[in-house]
Amino acid sequence: MSLNVTFATTTWLWTSPFTTETTSLFSKIKEMGFDAVEIPVEDPDLIDARKVKQALEKQGLKPVICGAFGPSRDLTHEDPAYHKTSLDYIRRCFQISAEVGARFVAGPMYSAVGKARLLPPEKKKIEWDLAVNNLHKVCVMAAEYGQEIALEPLNRFETDLINNAEDLMQLIGDINHPAAKVLLDGFHMNIEERNIVDAITRVGDKLIHVQVSENYRGTPGTGQTRWEDYRKGLEIVGYQGVVSIESFTPEIKELAGAVCIWRPLAESQDAFASEGLKFLKSWAS
């Protein structure tokens, strides 16, 4: 039995930041055979949501909105000014998401990416509580826009707060709001999860988005990923959402540096997307 999923790719595979003009990629993405496109909102001021929606409709692509959480966007910072900056940014993401027809904003919005330290338990408890309280506010905000949030665990080198499905389900339990849902990213799971099937079944029906690449961030199907385990887990939970290729171009140096990509991971970014999609369609069939 085939997985009842649709496929997307992120525009980060080619460029950064996403702007209204980045919609020029949509025709190529559609021609490759993708059903959806992942739109990373790095700077909301660069995005005209009305024009993006028009471009999506023209190509028949569904949107997925992802946030970008650098050092200034940190809901666990000791300075409340950072919380305000983060909440203002997330509100802009919800506005864009609602206007283009997406239904959630995804990403590791609990803390700033790259904040990885060995903390004493009392300090970690303070940051955990800040994440819980601020993300509850985010969920209330999401509901105002008819949206949800898809929270993403990151590997230990990118955050010290939420590394795996177990961590994330504890956080969601503490947030205690129906808008708090889950994004699982296979790259991070390949580092942090003992058992892929168990991780997927642990989040269960909270799972609303899946991102994939290889264990080395490369083209799906070319590395050491245990794809049969991902398929089994998704079958068990009855996942029917988007499976999105997420990797990054080495040509945009700021982006490449942020995600530690020091060399090309495919013959070309177009080949990365098209060959990755070919593999995923076979994997899901």
44 CB neighbour count, 10 Å cutoff: 16
- pTM: predicted TM-score of the whole model, two decimal places: 0.98
**What is the DSSP secondary structure assignment for residue 13, as one 8-state letter?**
G
- pLDDT at 255 (0 to 100): 87
H, E, C per residue of 52-113: HHHHHHHHCCEEEEEECCCCCCCCCCCCHHHHHHHHHHHHHHHHHHHHHCCCEEEECCCCCC
pLDDT-flagged residues of the chain (< 50): none
Partnered with residue 107 across adjacent β-strands are 151
Instruction: Please tell me the number of Cα atoms within 13 Å of 250 on its side-chain side.
Output: 13
- pLDDT at 87 (0 to 100): 98
Residue type, 103: R
Partnered with residue 63 across adjacent β-strands are 37
**What structural domains does the chain harbor?**
6-284 (3.20.20.150)
Provide CB contacts within 8 A for 79, sequence distance 6+: none
- pLDDT at 1 (0 to 100): 81
